[in-house]
A and B are shown apart, each in its own frame.
Chain A
Amino acid sequence: MTDQTVTSDSGSAKSAEQSSEFAASRLAGGDGRDAILEVENLRMYFPVKSSGVIRRTVGHVQAVDGVSFQVPAGGALGLVGESGCGKSTTGRLITRLYQPTGGKIMFEGKDIAGLSPKKLMPLRRDIQMIFQDPYTSLNPRHTVGAIVGAPLLIHNVVPKKKVLPRVQELLEVVGLNPEHYNRYPNEFSGGQRQRIGIARALTLQPKLLVADEPVSALDVSIQAQVVNLLQDLQREFDISFLFIAHDLAVVRHFCPEVAVMYLGKIVEIADRETLYNHPQHPYTQALLSAVPDVKQAAIGGRRERIRLEGDVPSPINPPSGCRFRTRCPLAQEICAKQEPPLLQIGERHKVACHFAGEIGQHPTKPVTARLLGIDDQGNPDPGATPDPNAVEQPGFADTWYDVQGGHLGAKA
């Protein structure tokens, strides 16, 4: 066990009690920009009610269970995972469409997780959302002008007379004809409707946009138009994005940093080069190997796929220990007993696996055991003491756990 005390210039204190205090003030990382959003141990449990007259709570759907991450200002974080893994719930928690069960949502250094609707009101200008389905997220009985102009009226930003010019300006920004403000959503195609949804989200000049599957309902040729539009907007207005999608290729294209979720938890988070080229979590590896690759197939047949058996377990009663263990090809005894922490193993790379390693190079012994104060089978080891630094933190520290060497404090 190493007790290397680590000092770092950006103030990322490494002891457990200090970490949360410093979390908010810590820098987002290499690019030197502050994190606009910092989420710490965010949880959302939906109660499951019994049938009958007295609807007792019989359990909870643990949709999001202890998620921590950062979104750098002006940057983009991608959130990928299969349906039901909690990525959309995370997005809705950040826009505070739901009241979280626990955890912190630090937006520009202020915790918005427990704010009352009244106090949230001014913040809603800064955090806006783009919804997945452009057919159901626009009111069919309102004109485009009313839809895009509504935020201006609600927040009293501009005098009523100025609403229309501003709406037309926004329509032009997203590539629609400004003269179409008095049309209804049904007169537009899917891609155009998604542009209306984007215009509505841009109306109040937000600092953070939560885009929940913004292109998955669109035709392939239209997807590219919308992705390019979002990229232009990000550059022009310096908006930060939380980009939620199940399409790994789109996320890779849009986000410099990507988090992979499985059953309410983040299993791996890294910059895109690391995540897509050197994934360490068996789930990320399986997910990536399952994506059909046109160019690969065009040259020489398909890649070797990692087959995952079965389906995602129910989030009402998730497996003990590591949640992925029921489908994991590497699972051992320790995985059922001890949940792996989301451990930083590289400059901008965190993974939650006892056997983290690249494909075909997974270690045979759990890399996390000594850190957690347990033996290789997952039983408490009286001789070892858990390392307090193995606590999950939203951002990336300047030092990390060296998987090969088995100690904390590796540095580039």
Chain B
Amino acid sequence: MTSQAPLLSVKDLKVHFPTQDGIVKATDGLSFDLESGKTLGIVGESGSGKSVSSSAILGLHRGTSAKVSGEIVLNDTDLLTISDEQMRRRRGKNVAMIFQDPLSAMHPYYTVGNQIMEAYLVHNKVSKREAKTRAIEMLDRVGIPQPDRRVNDYPHQFSGGMRQRAMIAMGLINNPGLLIADEPTTALDVTVQAQILDLLQDLQREFNAAIIIITHDLGVIAEMADDVLVMYAGRAVEYGPCKEILTHPEMPYTWGLLSSVPDVTGDTDARLIPIPGLPPSLLNPPSGCAFHPRCTHKDKVKGNLCKTEMPELLPGNRGPEHTKRCHLADPEQIYFTEILPEIAPDLVEEFAEVNPDGSVGDAEPVRSSDAAAEAEEKKI
């Protein structure tokens, strides 16, 4: 990590929803940093608090009964302390969001162009004509054919992939420093998903934006993210560089995620290893480690530690950047002797050679430092 202050710094974020039955702790103590030009991937099952955390960054819980605490520092300003008016001025300009389902996220009654223009008009003192030119420019930039004609279309006249592109155009029209993409490709087919992911990466390079990508698809994470945050029951359970997490996961929940998804190149006779049981209720989370009722490795920890004590998010044996929330003493050894040989025996040796800095074997580090990250934050 570089010495410069990160663009976004979230510290001990808590989002609690008081309900009749008690407090739902949707997010309970989440911390991460994100620099410009970098991508953070957040993975987890539904109900693990991924979306709630990101909408808290956008200030979408203001005016609801939700209790948000902690710190969300964006560009040296704590977003939780500023007024609604100040938040409104930042929303869409400094931080924007792409939603999962572009059909329900767009207003069916207004043309696509008008909706994109609105985002621009709110933050810039320009005429409608100028805003429309800018909207057409953005539609062109995200690859909509004949943007000058399509700008007058309604959302239902767009296909799913085009709607998602229009959403991206809307999110990027003010060159936000931070873009939050909440399951941006889940509703799309694989070929369109590939187009959208490529587009996001191209645009990130161009605008040097930081991206938070929220998904349950580890494949998307593997292709997009620099850092990965695995969430379970409202908490980060593993956090570190993407390659490191994928090759040397240290938390049984991450193992479960990796082994329950079939791979397009894997062995077809190998059985999928599901995670037993169900995600816990956030109203009444399990004692100790929230994952312990579904964890198949809890017997390896002495005593009843998993049941009684919540493990802290601490660095494991692989360096300070890779943190995990688990009591297991030597997770690496368990992963390489028990898990990986089951799911991908051919990769054991290859993965074992990956160093904590992402390099392979004794060779020079291959992970190129992203030149874009060092460039100044671009503002137009």
Residues of chain A lying within 8 A (CB to CB) of residue B161? 311
Residues of chain B lying within 8 A (CB to CB) of residue A294? 218-219, 221-222, 246, 258, 261, 263
CA distance A224 to B256 in the complex (A): 10
Chain B: minimal CB distance from A57 (Å): 23
Chain A: minimal CB distance from B304 (Å): 24
- A290 near B191 with CB under 8 A, answer yes
Interface centre among A220, A224, A293 (most CB of B within 10 A): A220
Chain B: minimal CB distance from A221 (Å): 4
- B222 near A297 with CB under 8 A, answer yes
- B247 near A219 with CB under 8 A, answer no
- B189 near A83 with CB under 8 A, answer yes
- B264 near A249 with CB under 8 A, answer yes
* Among candidates A82, A219, A248, A291, residue contacting B45 with C-beta atoms closer than 8 Å: A219
Residues of chain B lying within 8 A (CB to CB) of residue A308? 191, 194-195
- B278 near A298 with CB under 8 A, answer no
Residue B271 at the chain A interface, CB threshold 8 Å:
yes
Query: Which of A110-118, A299-307, A397-405 lies at the interface with chain B?
Result: A299-307
CA distance A225 to B259 in the complex (A): 12
Residues of chain B lying within 8 A (CB to CB) of residue A310? 145
Residue of B nearest to A232 (CB): B271
Known contacts A246-B189, A272-B268, A293-B265: A228-B274 contact under CB 8 Å:
yes
- B190 near A287 with CB under 8 A, answer yes
Chain A: minimal CB distance from B143 (Å): 9
From 246 to 267 in chain B, residues with beta carbon under 8 angstroms from any chain A beta carbon are 246-247, 256-266
Residue A336 at the chain B interface, CB threshold 8 Å:
no
Residues of chain A lying within 8 A (CB to CB) of residue B197? 292
- A305 near B262 with CB under 8 A, answer no
Residue B134 at the chain A interface, CB threshold 8 Å:
no
Residue A252 at the chain B interface, CB threshold 8 Å:
yes
Known contacts A252-B268, A292-B223, A297-B223: A82-B191 contact under CB 8 Å:
yes
Residue A61 at the chain B interface, CB threshold 8 Å:
no
Query: Which of B62-70, B96-104, B203-211, B343-351 lies at the interface with chain A?
Result: B343-351
- Chain A 307-324, CB-CB to B under 8 Å as 1, else 0, gives 110110000000000000
Residues of chain B lying within 8 A (CB to CB) of residue A272? 268
Residue B198 at the chain A interface, CB threshold 8 Å:
yes
Residue A296 at the chain B interface, CB threshold 8 Å:
yes
- B272 near A296 with CB under 8 A, answer no
Residue of B nearest to A256 (CB): B268
- B263 near A249 with CB under 8 A, answer yes
Residue B16 at the chain A interface, CB threshold 8 Å:
no
CA distance A366 to B160 in the complex (A): 34
CA distance A225 to B273 in the complex (A): 8
CA distance A141 to B18 in the complex (A): 30
Residue B193 at the chain A interface, CB threshold 8 Å:
yes
- A82 near B278 with CB under 8 A, answer no
- B260 near A291 with CB under 8 A, answer no
- A290 near B263 with CB under 8 A, answer no
The number of chain A residues touching the other chain, given as a range, is 35 or more
- B274 near A222 with CB under 8 A, answer yes
Residue A328 at the chain B interface, CB threshold 8 Å:
no
Residue of B nearest to A227 (CB): B272
Question: How many inter-chain contacts with C-beta < 8 Å in the A-B complex?
Answer: 140
Residue of A nearest to B259 (CB): A224
- A297 near B246 with CB under 8 A, answer yes
Residue of A nearest to B257 (CB): A220
CA distance A293 to B219 in the complex (A): 5
- B195 near A223 with CB under 8 A, answer no
- B198 near A253 with CB under 8 A, answer no
Residues of chain A lying within 8 A (CB to CB) of residue B243? 298
- B351 near A299 with CB under 8 A, answer yes
Chain B: minimal CB distance from A344 (Å): 23
Residue B162 at the chain A interface, CB threshold 8 Å:
yes
- B247 near A253 with CB under 8 A, answer no
Residue of B nearest to A189 (CB): B278
Chain A: minimal CB distance from B266 (Å): 8
* Among candidates A228, A288, A300, residue contacting B272 with C-beta atoms closer than 8 Å: A228
Residue of A nearest to B344 (CB): A295
Chain A: minimal CB distance from B291 (Å): 11
- B195 near A293 with CB under 8 A, answer no
- A250 near B222 with CB under 8 A, answer no
Residue B10 at the chain A interface, CB threshold 8 Å:
no
- B246 near A82 with CB under 8 A, answer no
Residue B80 at the chain A interface, CB threshold 8 Å:
no
- B264 near A288 with CB under 8 A, answer yes
Residues of chain B lying within 8 A (CB to CB) of residue A191? 278
Residue of A nearest to B189 (CB): A82
Residue of A nearest to B366 (CB): A300
Interface centre among A191, A222, A250, A253 (most CB of B within 10 A): A253
From 142 to 165 in chain A, residues with beta carbon under 8 angstroms from any chain B beta carbon are none
* Among candidates A221, A250, A253, residue contacting B274 with C-beta atoms closer than 8 Å: A221
- B260 near A293 with CB under 8 A, answer no
Residue of B nearest to A314 (CB): B159
Residue A276 at the chain B interface, CB threshold 8 Å:
yes
Chain B: minimal CB distance from A21 (Å): 36
CA distance A228 to B217 in the complex (A): 19
Chain A: minimal CB distance from B251 (Å): 14
Interface centre among B192, B268, B274 (most CB of A within 10 A): B274
- B190 near A291 with CB under 8 A, answer yes
CA distance A280 to B194 in the complex (A): 20
Residues of chain B lying within 8 A (CB to CB) of residue A123? none
From 73 to 90 in chain A, residues with beta carbon under 8 angstroms from any chain B beta carbon are 82-83
Residue A286 at the chain B interface, CB threshold 8 Å:
yes
CA distance A227 to B273 in the complex (A): 10
B interface residue numbers (CB < 8 A to A): 45-46, 145, 159-162, 189-195, 197-198, 216-223, 243, 246-247, 256-266, 268, 271-276, 278-279, 344, 347, 350-351, 354, 360, 366
Can you sample 16 A-B contacts with CB below 8 Å? A83-B160, A223-B272, A224-B272, A227-B262, A249-B262, A250-B262, A252-B264, A292-B193, A294-B219, A295-B246, A295-B263, A295-B344, A296-B265, A298-B243, A298-B247, A308-B191
A253-B268, A298-B247, A311-B192 given; name 19 further pairs at CB < 8 Å.
A221-B45, A223-B260, A223-B261, A224-B259, A224-B274, A224-B275, A225-B276, A228-B274, A249-B266, A250-B262, A276-B265, A287-B191, A290-B191, A292-B197, A295-B347, A297-B223, A300-B366, A310-B145, A311-B161
A interface residue numbers (CB < 8 A to B): 82-83, 189, 191, 219-225, 227-228, 231, 246, 248-250, 252-253, 272, 276, 286-300, 302, 305, 307-308, 310-311
What 6 A-B pairs come out closest when comparing CB atoms?
A292-B219, A297-B222, A224-B274, A224-B260, A298-B246, A253-B262
